[in-house]
Structure formats: C-alpha cells, structure tokens
Amino acid sequence: MTSAETDGYESRSRLALVRAFIGYLVLPNAVFLIVGGFGYMSRPLVNLDYLLLGAVAGLMWPPAAISVYALLVAVDAFVSLAPVFRFGLDNAVVAFPFVFQLGWGATLFALICATGVAAVAVAGMKVSGERRGSWRPSLLLGALLVFGLDGLNGTSGLFGADRARVGFNIATSAVYTAGRSAFKRTFGREKIMSVPSATEALRRIVGSGSGLESPEPTDIILVIVESLGHFKDSTEDSVVLAPLLSPQIRQKYAIRTGTVGTHGATTSGELRELCGIRADFRDVDQIDLRTCLPPTLRSQGFHTVAIHGYSGAFFDRYKWYPKLGFERVLFAEDLVRAGATGFCGATFQGLRDVAVGRVLAREVLAVPRVRERRFVYWLTLSSHLPADASCATGSTLSCGDGNGRRRFVDVCTLMQVQRLVAQSVAEIATHPGLPLTRFILVGDHPPPFFSRSIRSLFAENDVPFVELMPRPRRSARVRAH
C-alpha cells in the first residue's frame, strides 16, 4: 500500500469514527438537550445506551438495529419527559394505545412523537455510516470514558460520592433507570408498622378532635428537609437550625426540639411524618389513611397542599400525594409554569429550596376572603447528595467554625443549604401578616455520605426536628379602670 493510499485509509477511518460518534453520541443527546430548553426536564447530559448500541450495531441486521435505536429513544423519552407529562414509567407502554381514544389532538401528538422517535433513529443510523459485519470498540471505550467521568464527578448512581465537581449529571442509562424503577416497584416491601415521629404529638391532638390548643384557627406547616442529619456534636444541629431558635422566634412561639429515629430513604421519611408508619411509597394503597395527617385535617376543614421542587413523576408522587389526602400538589413542573426560577443540584436538578420557599410564603400569606385553616407540606430538595455548592448561594453559615465544617467542605455545603431552608421558614414564621401557624421541621434521613470519616459525625439512625407552637396573641382591648 502506497503512502497516499495509507493516508487515504487513515483519513476515511477518522471520518468514519467522527460520524459514528455524531450518530450515537451527539445527535440523540442534542435532541433531548434542545427539547429540554422548552420546559422542565431533568436529564443527564449523555445517555450511554446509544454508544453501547453503536458498538455492536454493525453486527446486527440493519432494520433490527434501527428498531433498537428507536426503542432506546422511546425509553429515553419516557424517562426524561415523565416530569413534564407525569407519566409513570411502568404503565407508559400499556397506556399508550388509549391515547388514540382521547381525540384527534392527543392522537396527532402521539403520532408526532412516534414520528420523531423514528426520525431520530433513522438519522442517527444514517449519519453514523454504519458498516455491516463489524463492531466499533472505540464507541465502547467512549461509553466507558463518559461513565468514568460521571463517576469522578460524583453523580454516578453506582458509586458513592459526597460532592459533585460539576453541577450537573454527566451520564446515565435510561434502560437501567427504567429497569431499576420496575424492580423497586416489585420487590423489597416490608411490613407496615407504627413508628415514632416528629409529628406524633400533633397527630395525637388532631386525632383526638381536641383542637390545636388555641382559640383562634391555627394553620400547620410541615417541612421535611432532605438529608438533615443529627450531629453527634448536637451544637452543630443548633447551627443549622439557628434561624428557628432565635429570640424573635421565641417571642412568638414555644419551641420543642428533639430527635426521631429513621428507616429507609426519603419516601419512608415522608410516610413516617405524614402517617406515623414505617413504609414507603409502594405501600400507599395498603395504608390506613385514618392514621395520616392530610385526610384527618381535611375532615376538620383544613385545605391541604403539598409542594416539592422536583418532578412529580419521581417515585410517582403525583399519584400517591392525592391518595394521602392532598387537595393540591405543586411540583417543579407546576412551579415553573407559575413563574418560579432558579435551578441547582447535581444528580437531581430541581428548583432551589429558596425559590420554593418563596412559593410557600405566598401560599401561607395569601389569606383567602373566607378564612380557612391550611395544612401545607414542603419536601425540600437542594441538600440531596452529592452536594452542589451552587445550591448554597446566599447562605449565612460560616465554614470557619465547628469541627466537621472546618474539616470537610462537603459537610459545610450541606449545612449551608439546610440553613437556607431554616431561614426561609423563619422568615415566614415572623412575618407580621401570618395567621397563627404551627411549624414542624424535620429531616427525612441522615445524610448518606460515602466517606466513613464524614458519616461518623452523624448519628446513624436519628434526625433532628424543631417544632414551633404559636403563643396566644394578646388582646388588643384596653381594660377600663
């Protein structure tokens, strides 16, 4: 082979490699990146499934390769766009035929989506210039490289990490995500049982029908803070919760603090506080709702609202929040449509807690013409690990003091984010226009730090809580002498 022929062969090989990466890496991920610009969509930068297909597509019958490509795009769309349409991954395929019974608009939309999926698959295969009878190890190496970068960034679900180096999720596998979701729905359920909770005293009062210890109507705000752990050095708890322990708060509220035992992940923490039980979201249909705060309060005339700065499709909260008795539910997609802005987070990018806190403030301070009692529940998000330092912007907590804060920047970032939540709640609690309101703020579970040194700073199975009980307001009447 002459030098010119060698150069030509190498040039064609480089061009083929570039085309393959465009077809299996750039094109499909760019489509979702563009779609994400038009609405709320939480999706990592790269879906590795396309690169893995590209590595072996040359060994497949071309129509089969295109079909698999289209299937990967469809799964990617279901996983990525579920936050927009609140469509559960487990029933999306089963429910799809019913779209054609919903009228021409829905049918046309479904056909457009199907056409788009097919077009991306055909274009991707065409651009890649797929060669029959060969496989592409370079694409497999590319997938491994991106996977490794995701792990180093701290956003891989397979490797523990305490902090994200880049404030967004680099890579995922939509097929793995969907499969894991289906597996979790099917296996691993535990027996439902009653457990202590921070809301235990409140539920006892509400359940007895004895009122809320005040002659005036009293609202209730429950805040569950993501990864709010109980420090073994309990003075650090008071640093995070300082805005709720201030003299201004003590003038208006009696304060109760303590810790409560935990089990499981966030949804278990939610059901612990909402219903006083050990369970998770898969058990909602088996729960005796008479133990839960939302339906009990609704029966006593409360308007019940739930707010969360992430997708309602995640863990199917859009389904089971109403089942628990919430009349209104506001998730990230709803809040964005209502004008909320400001996103942060690494693995789970959603609205910043401070932005959601402003929504909570509007919700509780906008007193309706006919006074009604309200129960508002807020599940925070920004302190989800791995920690994203941008979520802590504006926090007043200093990293210079305290053993854990001084030694570990990840601990300080977490505390700063959680201090912002406490500050948001304190600002609401001291607002002069606030009706009498009872507040409970509690952690869902200890922070799942990967580092043993950091984990040793926290109690293994306890989270702190603070409860603010409004003091009776003094009468404005002037007594006659």
Listed in sequence order, the residues at least 6 apart from 427 whose beta carbon sits closer than 8 Å to its beta carbon are 357, 361
Query: How many Å apart are CA 444 and CA 378, to the nearest integer?
Result: 12
pLDDT given for residue 94 in this prediction:
41
pLDDT given for residue 187 in this prediction:
58
pLDDT given for residue 169 in this prediction:
81
Whether a cis peptide bond, with omega within 30° of 0, leads into 472 is no
Phi then psi for residue 280, to 5 deg, are: -140, -175
The average pLDDT across 217-234 equals: 91
In the chain, where are the structural domains located? Answer: 8-186, 193-470
Please provide the average confidence, as pLDDT, over all residues in the chain: 82
Residue 149 token pair: 């970068």
Handedness of CA 279, 283, 284, 289 (dihedral sign): negative
Name the DSSP letter for residue 244.
G
pLDDT band per the 50, 70, 90 thresholds, residue 330: very high
The average pLDDT across 106-123 equals: 76
Range with lowest mean pLDDT among 199-203, 369-373, 418-422 = 369-373
Query: How many Å apart are CA 330 and CA 337, to the nearest integer?
Result: 10
Pairing of strands 193-194, 219-225: unpaired
190, 182 contact by CB (below 8 A): no
pLDDT band per the 50, 70, 90 thresholds, residue 160: low
Using the predicted structure, report yes or no on whether residue 98 has a pLDDT greater than 50.
Answer: no
pLDDT given for residue 252 in this prediction:
95
Q: Exposed, middle or buried: residue 414 (CB in 10 Å: 0-12, 13-18, 19+)?
A: buried
The segment with the largest mean pLDDT, out of 24-38, 201-215, 408-422, is 408-422
Using the predicted structure, report yes or no on whether residue 132 has a pLDDT greater than 60.
Answer: yes
Pairing of strands 437-443, 462-470: antiparallel
pLDDT band per the 50, 70, 90 thresholds, residue 256: very high
pLDDT given for residue 440 in this prediction:
97
pLDDT given for residue 6 in this prediction:
62
Residue 21 token pair: 């990466």
pLDDT given for residue 117 in this prediction:
83
pLDDT in tens, 424-470: 999 999 999 898 999 999 999 999 887 878 888 999 889 999 999 99
Phi then psi for residue 133, to 5 deg, are: 80, 10
pLDDT in tens, 241-251: 999 999 999 99
The average pLDDT across 295-307 equals: 93
Range with lowest mean pLDDT among 53-57, 131-135, 184-188, 291-295 = 184-188
Using the predicted structure, report yes or no on whether residue 59 has a pLDDT greater than 90.
Answer: no
User: Which DSSP string corresponds to 387-433?
Assistant: B-GGGGTT----SSSSHHHHH-HHHHHHHHHHHHHHHHHHHHHT-TT
403, 227 contact by CB (below 8 A): no
Q: Where is pLDDT greater, at 260 or 97?
A: 260
Using the predicted structure, report yes or no on whether residue 146 has a pLDDT greater than 80.
Answer: yes
Residue 390 token pair: 């941008």
Using the predicted structure, report yes or no on whether residue 121 has a pLDDT greater than 50.
Answer: yes
Using the predicted structure, report yes or no on whether residue 2 has a pLDDT greater than 70.
Answer: no
Among 163, 159, 180, smallest CA distance to 171 is for 159
pLDDT given for residue 148 in this prediction:
86
pLDDT band per the 50, 70, 90 thresholds, residue 185: low
Q: Does domain 193-470 have CATH number 3.40.720.10?
A: yes
pLDDT given for residue 254 in this prediction:
95
Among 455, 439, 353, 457, smallest CA distance to 395 is for 353
Query: How many Å apart are CA 429 and CA 466, to the nearest integer?
Result: 13
The average pLDDT across 312-338 equals: 91
pLDDT given for residue 392 in this prediction:
92
Name the DSSP letter for residue 133.
T
